[in-house]
Structure 1
Amino acid sequence: MIDLSWMAWTWPTAIFFIVIFAMLAGMGAWEYLSPGGSPRTGILRFETTRGDRLFVSLLGSAFICLGWLWASELSLWYALIVCAAFVLLVFRTV
């Protein structure tokens, strides 16, 4: 078992960063196997690639979670549902 007490991390925090790393590694592997990712112009009217859309979705999800913490007493698990919907929306339309 990994001891995370040296940095006062919790398991949810560690899982969060592991998931971010896994997403970046997965996108890197996808780009290696299928270079280019067919850039496209979406509703923001500028050309984006898969990596751009991942960056926008991660940044937007961070702001959603911060806003959730500021505006709500509900669990962040509900914000995760909103973030998942946001990621799908970004990858579909941006």
Structure 2
Amino acid sequence: RLPSIYAAQSWDTANLILSAIGKASVKDKDAFRAALKAADFASVRGKFKFNTNNHPIQDIYVTEVVKEGDVLTNKIIATAFTDHGDAYADKCSM
């Protein structure tokens, strides 16, 4: 079956952790946190970085459900927002 957005997020999470492990020891918690925050990996969702509140800054897409063969899937038809961060980042004290 075709991968879902949940599969993409899981893939990105695994690659984020692997990139951080490559830069810092998990025993050095502060260095490991900094390596995670750097988000130095190639996301399947395009450009990816963390906002000040640790939510992703990413492109948001408009999709439509289409049938490909016997499978219904989401097809990207436009980019709704580029480098979009959540609306509450400035209210977070992180």
Instruction: Provide TM-score, normalisation by structure 2.
Output: 0.36
Higher relative contact order (CA 8 A, sep 6+): 1
Task: Give the helix-richer structure, 1 or 2.
Answer: 1
Task: Give the strand-richer structure, 1 or 2.
Answer: 2
